[in-house]
Structure 1
Amino acid sequence: MLDQICQLARNAGSCIMKFYNNQKLVNISYKSDNTPITNADYEANNIIKNGLLLITPDIPIISEEESHNFINNRHWNNYWLIDPLDGTKEFLKKNGEFTVNISLIKNGVPILGVIYAPFFNTLYSSFHQNAWKENNLGIKEKINVAQADVPLLVTSRSHPDKELKNYLEKIKNYKLKKLGSSLKFCLIAEGTAQIYPRFGNTHIWDTAAGHAIIIAAGGEVKTWSGKDLNYSLSSRYSFVNASFYASA
């Protein structure tokens, strides 16, 4: 099934790149929180959703691009989480730092994760305790987190916040890289980066695929109080995550 999900992500990515390479095709609107959304988001969403319904017709789907009544979903133990175009701001800035995110949640834990970066033609995937990276040459290899004497911290390119500034002031030795979308999780999973501190708001579809890949590669994703970031809908009050950090 993982291979089928990877192909779905690639199909959605190919669709997104048609818009990326011809901006005249892009129609932009704005959500209630003033974040942009485009027809590329919607078309990628349809590709993924229709594909998942064929592969696993009995598993429900939660997507960033659709309205969901949280109360009605709270009894779901197993479900798909998708973010068809993570990093819409980066997509519009044309810096390439956007991804397709698909994850499978089982009893509150992301057990399968796929992240495809179509601009770089690079795909990250995981199932249980194994994680892989397939580069633009089609070479696929297992990946693992790695420590470093001077850790590389990855932070959001489009979401600066005061708490992050305070956090960085307390660390003496580190290197810093700003990066869009869930690529931050991927750099930790492959051993390039070590820490992704996040204080601002995220939603479960922003983090689940990256979370799955990081834990499969030997890392962790925890809230600042030390608890695992959890996707159990029955123990939540909304789709919004607590602040967290991902680390090697």
Structure 2
Amino acid sequence: MLHTFERAALEAGKAIMEVFKSGCTSARKADNSPVTIADQRAERIILGHLRRDFPDIPIIAEESVAAGIVPAIGASFLLVDPLDGTREFLDRRREFTVNIALVRDGRPVVGIVFAPALGVAFSGEDGIAEKLFINRDFAVERRLIIGVRPQPVKRTALASRSHDSPQTARFLAENAISECTNIGSSLKFCLLAEGEADVYPRFTRTMEWDTAAGDAVLRAAGGSTLTLDGKPLTYGKTSQTHDCDFANPDFISWGGASSVAERA
């Protein structure tokens, strides 16, 4: 399955970079978030690969959902965010990503995150996480096994570049964290997974397709994503009385296992 994810993500990333280099305008979806032709092209490419290789697995894809195409899901389903970090993309920053994940029994178990402008991808499956180095021909040049680092005394936090909040500042103060880096897209999960940071608190709204692929990579690398009551973040949340289908609650993603044990 991960082989298909890689091919789909790399092809989608190539299409995104063609638009990135030529420039484009954006439109607004019903939730007032931006969408570009790059989002749409990338999603078509990804869906083509997934439908061909996994015709029986439902796919929840961001732009399809925005268009009202929401298949019923079962124990297993796929989550796709064809261009996470559209604001970064439009602002000519390089942190945007392609995200594809498999969810099984509420857990993200396979995932890939590709940052085409940075030439790196991250994948996770069966307890193994890798960093992939991608060349100019959009082929994998090298693979490196990655893992979270033990929680240090002085933790480094990550926060959303576009969706910071007062709750984040309080969390950092309460946990005596003085170093915090703002970065866009699902790369935050990947930096935790490769041991470059320790914690990512998120107190503003996300959707499951925003987080599933990065979360799969992080969990495969030995980290975790917990809701504020200390339970693992689950996927496939439909018929929610307080929010729309597939919306996430606030969560905290952790790198080293010691932090997980402290809060589990």
Scaled by the length of structure 2, the TM-score of the pair is 0.88
Equivalent residue for 1:240? 247
Inter-partner Cα distance in structure 1 for 2:174 and 2:215: 25
Q: State percent identity of aligned pairs.
A: 39
Alignment deviations for residues 103-137 of structure 1 (CA, whole Å, 9 cap, x no partner)? 00111111100000000110100112111001246
- 8 Å contact kept, 2:238–2:246: no
Q: 2:58 aligns with which of 44, 60, 63?
A: 60
Aligned positions of 1:1-248 closer than 5 A: 1-23=1-23, 26-67=24-65, 68=68, 73=72, 75-136=73-134, 138-147=141-150, 148-233=152-237, 236=240, 238-248=245-255
Aligned mates of 1:48, 1:97 — CA distance in 2: 19
User: Residue type of the partner of 1:61?
Assistant: I
SS at match of 1:111: strand
How much has 1:139 moved relative to structure 2?
1.9
In 1, are the aligned partners of 2:237 and 2:247 still within 8 Å (CA)?
Answer: no
Q: How much has 1:4 moved relative to structure 2? A: 2.1
Distance 1:9 1:149 in 2: 37
Conserved? CA contact 1:76–1:233, under 8 Å: no
Q: Deviations over 1:18-55 (max 9, x none)?
A: 011011xx231001222110011000000000110111
Show structure 2 runs of 5+ residues with no match: 136-140, 256-264
Partner of 1:139, secondary structure, is: strand
Q: Structure 1 residue 69: deviation in Å?
A: 6.6
Provide the TM-score with structure 1 as the length reference. Answer: 0.94
The residue identity in structure 2 corresponding to 1:97 is E
Q: Distance in 2 between matches of 1:190 and 1:172?
A: 23
Query: What is the CA distance between 1:96 and its match in structure 2?
Result: 0.3
Opposite residue 226 of structure 2, the aligned amino acid is: K
- SS of the equivalent of 1:188 reads helix
Count how many residue pairs are aligned between Structure 1 and Structure 2: 244
Q: Is 28-37 or 87-96 further displaced after alignment? A: 28-37
Q: Distance in 1 between matches of 2:57 and 2:176?
A: 46
Residue 149 of structure 1: CA displacement? 3.0
